[in-house]
Amino acid sequence: MKASKYRLSLPFLMLVVLLILGACSTSPNKKNGSSDSSSIVYPSSVISFYEDFKLILGDGSNVGTPLDFENKDYFYTTTDDNQKWVVYKTPNAGNTHGTSNNTRTELAQSKKWSPMVGGKLTATCKIMNVSPTGDARVAASYSVVVGQIHSADGHENEPFKLFYKKFPGHTKGSVFWNYEINTAGENNAGRWDYSYPIWGYDFSVVGTEKDTYPAEPEDGIAIGEEFSYEVDVKDGIMTLKFMSEGHETKSFTKNLIKSEYASKADMPEQVKRLFVPIGQDGVERPNAYANEGLFFKKGSYNQTNGKDPSVNRVWCSGAETHDGDLEKQYADGNYAEVWFKTAAVEISDEAISNEGYFSANDGLASKIVYPSEVIPVMDKFKILLGDGTAVDNIVDFQHEDFFYTVIDGTRRWVAYKTPNSGVTSPNSSNTRSELHEKREWTPEEGGKLSATCRVMHVSTTGDARVAASHSVVIGQIHSGEGHENEPCKIFYKKFPGHTKGSVFWNYEINTAGDDNSGRWDYSYPVWGHDFSVVGSGPDDLPSEPTDGIELGEEFSYEINVHKGIMYVTFKSDGHETKTFTKNLIRSEYSTKKDIPDQTKKLFVPMGQDGVERSTAYAGELNYFKQGAYNQTNGKNPESNIVWSTGAETYGGDIPKQYANGSYAEVWFRDTTIGESTSPK
């Protein structure tokens, strides 16, 4: 064999081998798999206590103990004036953790401790960005939480939350801390925060309009300005200390095992002003957070989100989210960013594992919670959805377009949503995502349906002259025999541009004879107008009702049919309770002279001038319905000036209707159904 003319020296070969071995032994970057990690300074090299915490990222994931870990989108190090800092960054929208509406890049302590055993957290940080978008009337807008004490037990409430908030255009922001009550009882929906100002304002200082801001705080903290905090819990007492160069040092103490808010009389004025109007008016357990496991959290818990402020006017910011696109949010400032220079934690050897909190909350935001888990009586109903689909068994069932659960910041609700145009039921022009009671009963046998709800949307298009425009039916009694008419229909209606809408209920006569074409409704106003109040032109609206109900405002109704008599009751905080009584087995409309003036105005011009059976609905089988029965449709108003609303339907394209406001949406948090009861 002929020898090669190229000769490689032994030293050169050894060098090649060493280079190959070195490349193979290099540790990968734990964020992106790069082979070059020799220059990485991990957060755990800057602040060394990470073995005591787990890290939740802005995408909702729990990455566990973040030793030798970084993520360039959420959690990494940077250098400023030759000082290393740990960066926590999170967008306005992304996947969340637990039941929260808000994203976070935040450490959560892996052990929990009782208020008597206690613990201590210290940190030095600076805020580098808060969202520039949001509704100024919403307390949580433009803010971030940089430190917490969180309960791992009970309601999982938070006795300490340290906020930074800066309104757009201001140089200085406010630092304040909130105490959240540990609500008495099983229902946590009434929980509220009391806020303590440190530098600048407290949480309750908001704008008067969406883009109107209060004056800039004179003693506030600027973006990029350092401050430090100490949180020390011992023998049931929480001691807080806040320090920043050029600012007064502030200290606070709070008893965590004996409540100062155990009765309604103890509720502070700040809370009455901020939380009570949205129905959050609970009281606290007398022993507050005693006997619960607590743990520290630290990082960037972004309080600004894209949820509609009508859902919750304290926590839902209505900020820009670019549909959750991370790069777009980071590009135009719709994120929160907090840098920490130092941090330390001290806990007792008596602290125990906090794994139960993580197992309960990891991935919870992506888990399906079925409507039947929120409202247990779903086994009593079947449902018709907005695309015409009928489902008989709705236990452990949902449909993401029509029937699903949502969280408003305080509690879960069941959402019913339906477009202006889709597949409808027989004999109806309107779509519905609506429950249908399986049991049928006569008025003499009776039954009762109750609910607590809030209407989130009605169609923004429609002819204002048409009584049904911009309305939705949220509860009914329906006859299953004869003409299949409806002795009770509960409506919500709001004209475009109005803040307040009307709640009213209609009684439809059970028409005498075989011809049902002369049937008509009589409408009873509850809050606001009745059904007959319409515009003088297609876009000419009547006046806004002064005593109406806003979108997102909670109210309750009860329909109780007992021994042939129907009792309908409506309740809402800040509104007069209204009760109506109607005989369902003896008509008051059995002759032409009994037709009311309202009916002569609305229905008679269309030829609907019938009379009712003298026995009304006596002996007929009836059933309850509940949900969102959209009364707005695309039919030509010239065909029926009461029911054909001429609304936009986008050719029946449901996504386009949803995107452009041509739909109805109603949320329920409570429903009961069963036998009638004797009225009080």
pLDDT at position 38 is: 56
Stretches in the chain below the pLDDT threshold 70: 1-38, 425-428
Instruction: Give the DSSP letter of residue 184.
Output: S
pLDDT at position 361 is: 87
* Nearest CA among 298, 113, 274, 95 for reference residue 180: 274
Give residue limits of the domains in the chain: 37-366, 383-674
Token code pair at residue 57: 């990222």
- Separation of alpha carbons 656 and 556, rounded Å: 31
pLDDT tens-digit readout, 454-503:
999 999 999 999 999 999 999 999 999 999 999 999 999 999 999 999 99
Task: Say what the pTM is.
Answer: 0.78
Pick the CATH number of 383-674 from 3.10.290.10, 1.25.10.10, 2.60.120.200, 3.40.50.10420: 2.60.120.200
pLDDT at position 14 is: 45
- Separation of alpha carbons 206 and 444, rounded Å: 54
Q: Which residues contact 344 (CB under 8 A, 6 or more apart)?
A: 49, 121, 122, 123
Token code pair at residue 1: 């064999």
Pick the CATH number of 37-366 from 3.40.50.720, 2.130.10.10, 2.60.120.200, 3.10.520.10: 2.60.120.200
* Contact yes or no for 288/257 (Cβ under 8 A): yes
pLDDT at position 413 is: 95
- CATH topology agreement for domains 37-366 and 383-674: yes
pLDDT tens-digit readout, 562-596:
999 999 999 998 999 999 999 999 999 999 999 99
Burial class (CB in 10 A: 0-12, 13-18, 19+), 597: exposed
- Separation of alpha carbons 350 and 111, rounded Å: 10
CB atoms within 10 A of CB 31: 17
pLDDT at position 240 is: 98
Token code pair at residue 240: 């807080």
Burial 650-676 (b: 16+ CB within 10 A, else e): beeebeebbeeebbbbbbbbbbebeeb
* Contact yes or no for 559/573 (Cβ under 8 A): no
pLDDT at position 678 is: 95
pLDDT at position 229 is: 98
Three-state SS across 328-397? HHHHCCCEEEEEEEEEEEEECCCCEECHHHHHHHCCHHHCCCCHHHHCHHHHHEEEECCCCCEECCCCCC
Strand-by-strand arrangement of the 565-571 sheet? 403-407, 412-419, 663-674, 447-457, 555-562, 565-571, 578-583
- Separation of alpha carbons 97 and 425, rounded Å: 39
- Separation of alpha carbons 68 and 40, rounded Å: 9
pLDDT at position 494 is: 98
